[in-house]
Homo-oligomer: A and B are copies of this chain.
Amino acid sequence: MTAGELEAYLHSAIPLSGLMGVRVEACGDGRIVLTAPLSTNHNHLGTAFGGSLATVATLAGYCALWVALGRKDAHVVIRKSSMDYLRPVTGDIRAVCEFPAEATKSAFLDRFEKHGKARMELDVSISENGEQCLRFQGEFVALS
């Protein structure tokens, strides 16, 4: 799946992603990178709104698992998440989710094939000028 295909899918399936201006900067090479402009995602202080940070991070996790799954007949839901807001984001939002390591991914796909359901924890990071601003940890579940 290309970045453009993933972006079109997100905007059609999850309309909020389009309203927020979420773009898929990268989909592959071991990671998902999503961006969203500050202009539609700022708070009362002119920095990025916490809800927007949470949403872009959640989407990055969804996308990473869905792409790793590689099956359009499966779907992904979020089970739990935690976020540490470490520093304000003063420009556009850029969330990075590294794909799981190959061994983790294989074990996940085996569980999914066997049970029609499998769970994975994913970390997402939003940084600016080399400093981490949001640390996100999510537990996602793939269902057939």
Interface residues of A (CB under 8 A from B): 13-16, 19-20, 40-45, 49-52, 54-56, 58-59, 62, 75, 77-85, 88
CB distance from A16 to the nearest CB of B (A): 6
Instruction: Check if B44 sits within 8 Å of A55, measured CB to CB.
Output: no
| Pick from B20, B44, B62: contact of A19, CB under 8 Å | B20
Residues of B within 8 A of A52 (CB): 16, 55
CB distance from A34 to the nearest CB of B (A): 11
Instruction: Check if B44 sits within 8 Å of A75, measured CB to CB.
Output: yes
CA of A84 to CA of B139 in the docked complex: distance in angstroms?
10
Residues of B within 8 A of A49 (CB): 14, 16
CA of A50 to CA of B19 in the docked complex: distance in angstroms?
15
Instruction: Check if B45 sits within 8 Å of A51, measured CB to CB.
Output: no
Residues of B within 8 A of A75 (CB): 44-45
